[in-house]
């Protein structure tokens, strides 16, 4: 097993440490470096505006690709990725691999979801707080509700934003910030049988990052061609793009 790792920033270094712990061979591909001639898979943890450009050559050759969230910051780019090739693609929706999230109890019909994410940076010059944070609650809510939202109403100023998403029978409200002095990630669900809260900032062993990278490596070994995470990533890209256009007015969503 030999992987190529694009990106060696804060999160790329976390991936590097995790791959070393997993004893997976990999090559870090820096800016301007030539990639290895032959790899079994690729991990892309670079700024979002580079995701599509880096992923497309590998997708065309059906080489397995892991793309950190958000998939892209462009509806057109995300749809291009979905339409290219037929090989394995994973997207870094890390909370779906957290054992605490996977322990969600049956609450019956979900009525509401509240998500709050606070962080003292990093502030990304070529992104927004919505692209940084909203993939998390959207991936979790869509997974639990097994449906996409039908409408969004959102606004953000600088590094603080609020977004509400209407589902058929549930409402999700998100408050996100990368200008807070506190660090917090909470996802709270109210259902007909009670309530449940998930703390995404609480340390887990093994780490969710290790679990999702193990899932990617195992999928490569099993010659999986699963693209369900890619499809989810495309849906989330479209929803967040609509959230940016909302400016406090409800926008109906059509997936």
d(CA 91, CA 67): 5
Does 234 fall in a domain? no
| Residue pLDDT tens, the chain, 255 long | 999 999 999 999 999 999 999 999 999 999 889 999 999 999 999 999 999 999 999 999 999 999 999 999 999 999 999 999 999 999 999 999 999 999 999 999 999 999 999 999 878 878 899 999 999 999 999 999 999 999 999 999 989 999 999 999 999 999 999 999 999 999 999 999 999 999 999 999 899 999 999 999 999 999 999 999 999 999 999 999 999 999 999 999 987
128 and 246 both lie in a single domain:
yes
Q: How many helices and strands (H and E) does the chain possess?
A: 8, 12
Asked if residue 185 and residue 143 are part of one domain, the reply reads yes
Distance CA(67)–CA(76), nearest Å, equals 16
Domain membership of residue 233 (yes or no) is no
105 and 136 in a single domain? The answer is yes
Q: What is the pLDDT of residue 133?
A: 96
Angle, nearest 10°, between helix axes 75-82 and 51-60? 10
What is the model's pLDDT at position 191? Answer: 98
pTM, whole model, 2 decimals? 0.96
CATH of the domain at 198: 3.30.360.10
> What CATH number is attached to the domain comprising 26?
3.40.50.720
Q: Which residues pair with 175 in a beta bridge?
A: 116, 162
| pLDDT value for 31 | 87
Range of the domain at 219: 2-93+206-226
Pair (56, 103) in one structural domain? no
Residues 186 and 65 in one domain: no
Same domain, 247 and 139: yes
Residue 51 and residue 6: Cα distance in Å, rounded? Answer: 10
Looking at the fold, whether 133 and 68 belong to one and the same domain comes out as no
User: Is residue 86 domain-resident?
Assistant: yes
Are residues 189 and 131 part of one domain?
Answer: yes
The number of folded domains in the chain is 2
Statement to judge: residues 35 and 149 lie in one domain: no
Q: Are residues 138 and 248 in the same domain?
A: yes
Residues 177, 55 share a domain: no
| CA 246 to each of CA 68, 161, 163, 165, 236: distance values in angstroms, whole numbers, following the listed order | 25, 12, 9, 11, 15
What pLDDT does residue 217 have?
A: 98
- The 184-191 sheet, strands edge to edge: 194-199, 184-191, 110-118, 171-177, 160-166, 151-157, 251-252
Cα–Cα distance measured from residue 80 to residue 114, given in angstroms and rounded to the nearest whole number: 32
The verdict on 211 and 114 lying in the same domain is: no
Distance from C-alpha of 255 to C-alpha of 174, rounded to nearest angstrom? 20
């Amino acid at each position: 097993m030999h992987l190529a790792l694009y990106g060696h920033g804060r999160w790329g270094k976390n991936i590097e440490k995790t791959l070393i712990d997993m004893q997976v061979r990999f090559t870090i591909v820096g800016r301007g470096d030539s990639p290895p001639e032959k790899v079994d898979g690729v991990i892309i943890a670079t700024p979002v505006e580079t995701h599509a450009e880096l992923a497309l050559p590998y997708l065309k050759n059906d080489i397995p690709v892991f793309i950190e969230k958000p998939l892209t910051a462009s509806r057109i780019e995300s749809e291009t990725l979905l339409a290219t090739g037929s090989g394995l693609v994973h997207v870094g929706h890390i909370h779906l691999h957290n054992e605490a999230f996977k322990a969600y109890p049956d609450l019956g019909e979900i009525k509401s979801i509240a998500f709050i994410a606070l962080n003292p940076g990093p502030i990304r010059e070529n992104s927004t707080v919505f692209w940084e944070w909203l993939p998390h609650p959207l991936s979790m809510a869509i997974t639990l509700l097994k449906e996409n939202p039908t409408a969004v109403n959102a606004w953000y100023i600088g590094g603080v934003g609020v977004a509400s998403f209407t589902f058929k029978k549930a409402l999700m409200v998100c408050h996100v910030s990368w200008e807070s002095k506190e660090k917090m990630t909470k996802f709270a669900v109210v259902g007909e049988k009670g309530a449940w809260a998930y703390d995404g900032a609480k340390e887990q062993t093994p780490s969710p990052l290790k679990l999702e990278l193990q899932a990617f490596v195992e999928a490569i070994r099993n010659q999986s061609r699963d693209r369900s995470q890619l499809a989810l990533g495309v849906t989330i890209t479209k929803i967040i793009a609509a959230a940016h256009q909302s400016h406090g007015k409800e926008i109906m969503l059509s997936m």
